[in-house]
Amino acid sequence: MATLWDKFPQIKSSRDAAAVPWENSVVWVVEEANGQRFDWIDTFDVEYVSWTNGNFSIRPHSESPLSHQVENIILQEKMIFVGKKVRVS
């Protein structure tokens, strides 16, 4: 996963839930052998999120560097949190 963070610095990560900006981001929880890890993308980098049939999709904002590399980010984690300030489609 460290190589993914190197490639996409907009995806942030922490093992401390207090470090996560819950209201301003899309957060997914990754279960690991040694505990949980919280990964997130801030609202600046998110145009909107949507979900259909269990597939959760993040559309990168047109001004985000992510939009130059990917069309959508599909998450299939067990726990995904959408902050109050994230646009939902």
Q: How far apart are CA 80 and CA 15, in angstroms?
A: 15
Tell me the pTM.
0.89
Average pLDDT of every residue of the chain = 91
Q: What 8-state DSSP symbol labels residue 3? A: H
Residue 36's alpha-carbon distances to 32, 39, 55, in angstroms, are: 6, 10, 21
Domains of the chain: which residue ranges?
A: 2-82
- pLDDT of 89 reads 86
Per-residue pLDDT tens digits for 4-40: 667 889 999 999 999 999 999 999 999 888 999 999 9
Q: How far apart are CA 39 and CA 15, in angstroms?
A: 9
Q: How far apart are CA 37 and CA 77, in angstroms?
A: 12
